[in-house]
Structure 1
Amino acid sequence: MPRPRCPRCKRPASHCLCALIPDLASRTGILVLQHPDEVDHALNTAHLAVLGLRNAELRVGEVFEDLAGWLAQPDYRTRLLFPGEDACPLSVVVEEDDSRPVRLVVPDGTWRKARKLLHLNPALAALPRVTLTDAPPSRYRLRKAPMEGSLSTLEAIVAALNVLEAPADYRALLRPFDALIDGQIAAMGEETFKRNHLR
């Protein structure tokens, strides 16, 4: 018989994270496009980010038929948060002579699956790209980063909001994430964690 789960944070009821999830406002809009393989992942950080932000939404799929409608919001400057040769630092967007708030579109999945989302959705790939510079190192101690500067989706959103919404601080979004990581480490045992992850 499956363990009861919290309908909001999707964690087992005995490990519910809802008490740690903040309720934060932002001018910046966040649209997370999540690959279906991430939905049932034990560390679904995008879901935690959207729960903690009032101006955020999450869509799941590979091909987003309604993407053009979602992106057509003239009240926002829409940008794709994804690295690339033509990506400009997020700090440049802050300096633009445009008073409209930014809407960040954030693909959620492994690097390979995130690239697939861009490939399958040309309107997504066509968006102006922005990237993070000088972001803090990842707190994701359970997974070896595939490249320098890699962050979980939640960490990337927090870092981006801290640039766009300065001096506001969005690190409160990391509290359930840290608890989730600590819980995973406790479940595997300190010795196993040290043996397999501290290298």
Structure 2
Amino acid sequence: MPRPRCPRCQRPLKQCLCALIPSLVSETEVLILQHPSETGHALNTARLAALGLTSAELRVGERFDDLPVSDSRESYLLFPGDDAVSLAQLAAEDLPLRLVVPDGTWRKARKLLHLNPALARLPRVALPEGLTSRYRLRKAPMPGALSTLEAIVVALNALEGAGRFDALLRPFEALIETQIDAMGAEVFQRNHGCHR
């Protein structure tokens, strides 16, 4: 019999994160496009971001035909690319912004861009180099790779003020600690080769 889950955060009731999820207001809208393969993942950081930001929306799918890209906000795809602008450059422009954030593995995120030409045509903004993920349960596929939630926090802090969105990381840290506790320190050490 499946364990009862919180209808909001989707965690097992005994591990509900809702008390740790903030309600933060940002000037920047955040549109998260989640690949369907991520919805059932135990560490669904996109859901945490959408729950913790009043100006965030989470959409699940592979094709997105109704992207809000032609209104009064400038939409930028938070994804690396040769022509990507820096967050500092974007912050200096002081425009009403929308960050469009693909959520999934790198392969799945690229697939979302391939299946949605309007998404692929958006101007891109990139995270600064040299960042380190707090996501101790997954091996980063490349240096500087962050979870979706971490990427959103870095971007919003750069655009709207350092530290303003760090509270979004509280449920993320609790989620990681819960998973490590469940697997046990020895298994965690053996599989991930690092200390808490």
TM-score interval, smaller chain? over 0.9
Shift in Å, 1:89: 1.0
Task: Measure, in 2, the Cα distance between the counterparts of 1:106 and 1:162.
Answer: 15
The match for 2:87 is 90
1:181 matches 2:179: no
CA RMSD of aligned residues (A): 1.2
Question: What aligned pairs does 1:45-60 form with structure 2 within 5 A after superposition?
Answer: 45-60=45-60
Shift in Å, 1:119: 0.3
Task: Measure, in 1, the Cα distance between the counterparts of 2:155 and 2:130.
Answer: 9
Shift in Å, 1:65: 2.0
Task: Measure, in 2, the Cα distance between the counterparts of 1:108 and 1:181.
Answer: 18
Shift in Å, 1:136: 3.9
Task: Measure, in 1, the Cα distance between the counterparts of 2:16 and 2:153.
Answer: 21
Shift in Å, 1:135: 6.2
Task: Measure, in 1, the Cα distance between the counterparts of 2:51 and 2:130.
Answer: 22
Kept after mapping to 2: 8 A contact 1:87/1:131? yes
Task: Measure, in 2, the Cα distance between the counterparts of 1:159 and 1:135.
Answer: 12
1:5 matches 2:2: no
Kept after mapping to 1: 8 A contact 2:130/2:143? no
**Post-superposition CA distance 1:138-162 (Å, at most 9, x none):** 0000111000100000000000000
Kept after mapping to 2: 8 A contact 1:47/1:58? yes
Task: Measure, in 2, the Cα distance between the counterparts of 1:143 and 1:85.
Answer: 26
Which residue, out of 116, 119, 128, partners 1:121?
Answer: 116
Task: Measure, in 2, the Cα distance between the counterparts of 1:134 and 1:62.
Answer: 28
Task: Measure, in 1, the Cα distance between the counterparts of 2:91 and 2:95.
Answer: 10
149 and 167 in structure 1: CA distance in 2 versus 1, 3 angstrom threshold: closer
- Structure 1 runs of 4+ with >4 Å offset: none
| Equivalent AA in structure 1 for residue 97 of structure 2 | V
Kept after mapping to 1: 8 A contact 2:79/2:101? yes
| Equivalent AA in structure 2 for residue 115 of structure 1 | R
| Equivalent AA in structure 2 for residue 93 of structure 1 | L
Task: Measure, in 2, the Cα distance between the counterparts of 1:91 and 1:134.
Answer: 13
The match for 1:72 is 70
What stretches of structure 1 of length at least 5 have no aligned partner? none
Kept after mapping to 2: 8 A contact 1:135/1:159? no
The match for 1:195 is 190
Identity %: 66
| Equivalent AA in structure 2 for residue 164 of structure 1 | L
Task: Measure, in 1, the Cα distance between the counterparts of 2:158 and 2:17.
Answer: 26
Kept after mapping to 2: 8 A contact 1:82/1:129? yes
Shift in Å, 1:27: 0.2
Aligned residue for 1:93, secondary structure, equals helix
Task: Measure, in 2, the Cα distance between the counterparts of 1:95 and 1:19.
Answer: 35
Aligned residue for 2:77, secondary structure, equals strand
Shift in Å, 1:168: 5.3
Task: Measure, in 1, the Cα distance between the counterparts of 2:13 and 2:84.
Answer: 41
| Equivalent AA in structure 1 for residue 77 of structure 2 | L
1:150 matches 2:145: yes
